Amino acid sequence: MGPVDAAATDWHRVLAPRSVALVGATGRADNPMARPLRWLTERGFAGRVHPVNPKYDELGGVPCAPSLADVPGGVDLVLALVPAERAAATVTEAGAAGAAAVIVFASGFAEVGDEGRARQEELVAAARAAGTRVLGPNCQGLYDARSRLFATFTGAGERPLTGSSGIAYVGQSGAIGGAVLDVAAERGLDLSAWVSTGNEADVTLTEVGRHLVADPDVSVLAVYAESLPDPGDYAALAAEAAAEGTALVVLRSGRSAPGRRAAVSHTGAMLGDDTAFTLVSRRFGVVLVDDVEELLAAATMLRGRHGRRRPTGRSVGLVTSSGGAGILAADRASEAGLAVPELDERTQAKLGRLVPAFGAVANPVDVTAQLFNDGGSFGEVCGIVRADPHVDAVLVLLTMLVGEAADALARDLAATVAEQGPDAPPVAVVWMAGEDGTAPARAVLRAAGVPVFSSIALAVRVLDAVAAGPGAAPAPLDALDPVPGDGWDLLDALGVRRPRSAISTDPAHTAAAVAELGGRAVLKTEGLPHKTEAGAVRLDVPTDAAASVHAELAALPGATGVLVQERVPDGVELLVSVDGGRDGWPPVLTVGHGGTATEVHRDVVHALAPVTPATARSMLASLRCWPLLAGHRGAPGADLDAAVDAIVRLSRAAGLPGLAELEVNPLVLPPARSTSLASTLALDARIATRSDPRHAGQAVAVDVLRTET
C-alpha cells in the first residue's frame, strides 16, 4: 500500500490526546513499562487513561480493559507495551478503535536482521490497512510538557519536568534522546516536547520536526539524526524552520562513514559523504553541532523567539577576570575563524572609567580581580562591550569566582542581559571553577538564557556554529537537453573553451595533427585514468618526433588511441567539478586548487549547484590559493572575471539528465590583462553518467571526455 498522507495526520491527537490506551500494561512496579501508566495517572495528564490487559481488573487504581475494543469512548493514542510479535496485531486493533497513532516500544525489528525486517514490513502494512500512524518501533516514545503526556519509559522521565523551555527535541536514538532530556532538565531546561522515533518504520523525525517548528511555543528544535533517507524532507524541515523563525540545531552521527563512495576522480577523494547535507543545512541557517553538550548549549543560546537571536556576524567580544583566560579564548576563536576585533574608541573610553588602569580594554577586556574588590559592576562592563558596533557576540570568561561573589555576579550579568533587550548580541559564559561552588550562579544565568560552559574550546565551537548564518542560495536549476556526441560537446554546449585537439590511432595522422597545431603539441594516451601517473603525457612534442611518441604512448597497456592537443601558456590551475546530486541530495559544485597535486593541496570549497557569479567569486576568495589568483608579490594574478564565468557555466551541468559527475582539472586561468591566453581553458575533463555500468552506485567516474590529468 502507498504511504499515509503525513499532512493529514492530526498531531494534536498524538501530542495532546483526549485518551490514551496502554496495551500490555503491567502491574510489576519494577518493570520500566510500568512507568507510563504511573506518570500519566500521577503527573497531571488531563485525558482519560485506559490500561489494557486481560490479566488485570485494575492497575494503579484505574479500571483495566481486557482489549482495545472494550475501551469506552474511543482512543486517540495507543501505547503498545507488547513484544515485537504482537505489535502488528495491536496496530490493527488500534485502527479499529479509531486511534490516530500507536507508539511501538518493542525492539526486534529491522535493527536485528532479515527476520526483524520482515516483521517491520508487516507492522507498516498493518498500519496502512488500519489507517493509523506508527511511531517506532524500537523507540522510547514521547513527552509533551503542555498536555503532561508521559508516553515514554525513559529513565529521564523520573525528573520533575514541571516547566517548558521553548526547546523541543526529536531524535532517532532513544538512549541519546534520554540523555538530552535528562541533562536539559538537570540544567533547568525542561523540554517543551521530546520525541524518540526509533526505526522510523512510518513516522520520521522530519515529519515530527515539521510539526514542531510550526508550534508558536517552540523557539528551538534540537535534532539528533543517524540517517536521513529522504533529503527532500530534511530540506523542507530546514526551510520551514527558517520561515517560522524557529532555530534548528542538528547533531548528526555517521557523517564520516568510510566507503560510501569510492572514486577515481580527484574530486571524489575530497567530497565528503556529508557535503550536500552540510550545504543544505547552511543554506537555511541550520546550526550543526558535534555532541550533546553542544546541542544543548546552542539551543540555550538561541531559545526564546522574541528573546535571543543569532549573531549577525563572526566578531566576538571577550570579557574576562583573567588575562590568561582571555589569551586562550582569543587563540581558540582565531583558530575557529572568529574575529576578535579591537573595540571602538568610544567603547574603550567607557570601559576605562570602570576597569583598573593595569587591566585591558581593547579586546579581550581584562577587568582583573580588582574590579570585584572595588565593588565594580561586571554586568555594566559586559553591557558596554555588548553594545560595541564591532561585536556580534560576547564570551565571558570567569575563573575562581565562587560562592556569594559568584551569585552576585550572575545576578548582575543576568540583569544586564535582560535590560539590553532581545536585539543585543548573545552572551555566553565559560566558568572555570567547580560546579559545587558555582551551581546557584550557573542556574541564574541559564534561567536568563545565558549558556554556561566549563571549557573555552567548547564555547568557541558553539559560537562558531551559531554564527554561521544562512548560506548562499543556488541559482535556478535549468534542465539541459541531452548533449549528443562525447563530453567535448558538453563543454561546447556550456560555452567553456578547450584547446584545439584531435584523436589519432595512426602515427602519421598524429604527425600531421601536430603540424596543423603549429609544429609542437601535447600528446596523451587515450583510455587511461590518471595519465600523468601512468606516464601517458608528453609535452612540447615537435612534428618530427610525433610518430615515435605516438608509438610509445599507444603501446601502454589499456591505450585506445592518442590525443593531440595544442599547447597552452601557463596559468593558475583550478579543479572544477559538479555532480548531478547523489542519494537524493541536490547537486554540489566543487572548486579547488587544481593540477596533478590536487589531492596534496586539498584546497577545495563546495556549494550547491548551479551557482551565481557572486557565489563563484566568494568560493574563489575562500581558497587558500587565493593569493595566486589575486596576484602574489607583484604578479598580475588571474583573470577573475573569466574564472567566475567558467565556473558558473560549468555549474550549469548540474541540470544535465543522468549526470553523475563532470570534472575539469585543470581549468587554466589566464593572467589578468593577458594577451597570450584569451580566456579560461579546460585542458582535461571527465564525465560520469549514472547509466554507465562501470559507475556502480555513482561511485566510479567514466572517462568519456577521453582526457584527464
The pTM of this model reads 0.87
State the amino acid at position 264 in one-letter form: V
Question: Could you tell me which residue, 430 or 703, shows the higher pLDDT?
Answer: 430
- What is residue 260's predicted lDDT score, i.e. its pLDDT? 38
Superfamily assignment of 572-698 in CATH? ATP-grasp fold, B domain (3.30.470.20)
User: What would be the CATH architecture of the domain defined by 141-310?
Assistant: 3-Layer(aba) Sandwich (3.40)
The class of domain 1-138 in CATH terms is alpha beta
Least confident of 445-459, 592-606, 645-659, 669-683: 669-683
Alpha helices in 336-391 (DSSP H): 345-352, 370-373, 378-386
Band of pLDDT at residue 709, cut at 50, 70 and 90: very low
Residue 288 in grid coordinates = 550543526
Using the predicted structure, report yes or no on whether residue 360 has a pLDDT greater than 50.
yes
Band of pLDDT at residue 310, cut at 50, 70 and 90: confident
Q: Please give the full DSSP string across 564-575, using - where no structure is assigned.
A: EEE-----EEEE
Question: How many H helices and E strands in the chain?
Answer: 23, 29
Task: Count CB neighbours of 42 within 10 A.
Answer: 10
Band of pLDDT at residue 705, cut at 50, 70 and 90: very low
Using the predicted structure, report yes or no on whether residue 374 has a pLDDT greater than 80.
no
Superfamily assignment of 500-566 in CATH? ATP-grasp fold, A domain (3.30.1490.20)
Least confident of 224-233, 378-387, 553-562, 668-677: 668-677
Please provide the distance, in angstroms rounded to a whole number, between the alpha carbons at the two ends of the chain: 50
Residue 691 in grid coordinates = 547509466
Catalogue the E-assigned strands of 119-273: 133-135, 141-144, 149-152, 167-171, 193-196, 220-225, 247-252
Task: Count CB neighbours of 488 within 10 A.
Answer: 19
Least confident of 142-146, 171-175, 194-198, 418-422: 418-422
Asked, colleague to colleague, whether 316-466 and 500-566 share their fold, the answer is no
Packing angle of the helix pair 546-554, 507-516 (nearest 10 deg): 130
Per cent of the chain over pLDDT 90 is: 62
529 burial (CB, 10 Å; 0-12 / 13-18 / 19+) is middle
Q: Which residues contact 649 (CB under 8 A, 6 or more apart)?
A: 494, 495, 496
Using the predicted structure, report yes or no on whether residue 412 has a pLDDT greater than 90.
yes
- Give tens-digit pLDDT for 21-67: 999 999 888 899 999 999 999 999 999 999 999 999 999 899 999 99
Residue 424 contacts residue 449 (beta carbons within 8 Å): no
User: Could you give phi then psi for residue 159, rounded to 5 degrees?
Assistant: -65, 155
Q: Looking at residue 25, what DSSP letter applies?
A: -
Residue 586 in grid coordinates = 541536490
The whole-angstrom separation of Cα 702 and Cα 700 is: 6
- Give tens-digit pLDDT for 574-632: 999 998 888 889 999 999 998 877 777 889 999 999 999 999 999 999 999 999 888 87
Catalogue the E-assigned strands of 334-458: 365-366, 393-398, 427-431, 452-453
Residue 638 in grid coordinates = 588571474
Residue 672: closest CA among 704, 628, 707, 703: 628
- What is residue 151's predicted lDDT score, i.e. its pLDDT? 98
Element (H, E) at 562: strand 561-566
- What is residue 255's predicted lDDT score, i.e. its pLDDT? 62
Residue 146 contacts residue 16 (beta carbons within 8 Å): yes
Residue 263 contacts residue 269 (beta carbons within 8 Å): yes
Using the predicted structure, report yes or no on whether residue 305 has a pLDDT greater than 70.
no
- Long-range CB pairs of 59-66, under 8 A, 24+ apart, other chains included: 59/25, 59/26, 59/27, 62/37, 64/25, 65/21
CA distances for 363 relative to 320, 359, 389, angstroms: 10, 11, 13
Using the predicted structure, report yes or no on whether residue 468 has a pLDDT greater than 80.
no
Band of pLDDT at residue 526, cut at 50, 70 and 90: confident
**Phi-psi domain of 528 (left: phi exceeds 0; alpha: psi -120 through 50; beta: other):** beta
- What is residue 5's predicted lDDT score, i.e. its pLDDT? 59
Q: Looking at residue 659, what DSSP letter applies?
A: E
Q: Which residues contact 588 (CB under 8 A, 6 or more apart)?
A: 271, 275, 276, 279, 578, 579, 581, 606, 607, 608, 609
Q: What's the mean pLDDT in 7-31?
A: 92
Residue 468: closest CA among 705, 301, 686, 667: 301
Residue 176: closest CA among 255, 253, 80: 253
Band of pLDDT at residue 72, cut at 50, 70 and 90: very high
Q: Which residue has the cell 590511432?
A: 505
The whole-angstrom separation of Cα 477 and Cα 470 is: 20
State the amino acid at position 48 in one-letter form: R
- Give tens-digit pLDDT for 386-395: 999 999 999 9
Count Cα neighbours of 573 within 13 Å in the Cβ-side half-sphere: 15
- What is residue 513's predicted lDDT score, i.e. its pLDDT? 95
Mean pLDDT of the chain: 87
The whole-angstrom separation of Cα 217 and Cα 694 is: 52
Band of pLDDT at residue 311, cut at 50, 70 and 90: confident
Residue 588 contacts residue 606 (beta carbons within 8 Å): yes
Say whether 409 sits in a helix, a strand or coil: helix
Band of pLDDT at residue 533, cut at 50, 70 and 90: confident
Per cent of the chain over pLDDT 70 is: 90
The whole-angstrom separation of Cα 604 and Cα 267 is: 9
What radius of gyration do the chain's Cα atoms show?
31
Do the bridges between strand 393-398 and strand 316-320 make them parallel or antiparallel, or are there none, so unpaired? parallel
- What is residue 256's predicted lDDT score, i.e. its pLDDT? 55
The whole-angstrom separation of Cα 445 and Cα 427 is: 10
Q: Which residues pair with 19 in a beta bridge?
A: 48
**Phi-psi domain of 483 (left: phi exceeds 0; alpha: psi -120 through 50; beta: other):** beta
The whole-angstrom separation of Cα 135 and Cα 529 is: 49
What residue ranges do the domains of the chain occupy? Answer: 1-138, 141-310, 316-466, 500-566, 572-698
CA distances for 489 relative to 279, 435, 492, 494, 578, angstroms: 30, 67, 5, 9, 16
Using the predicted structure, report yes or no on whether residue 557 has a pLDDT greater than 80.
yes
Q: Which CATH number fits domain 316-466: 3.40.1640.10, 3.40.50.150, 3.40.50.261, 2.60.40.10?
A: 3.40.50.261
Q: What's the mean pLDDT in 129-143?
A: 96
Band of pLDDT at residue 510, cut at 50, 70 and 90: very high
- What is residue 1's predicted lDDT score, i.e. its pLDDT? 37
Using the predicted structure, report yes or no on whether residue 225 has a pLDDT greater than 60.
yes
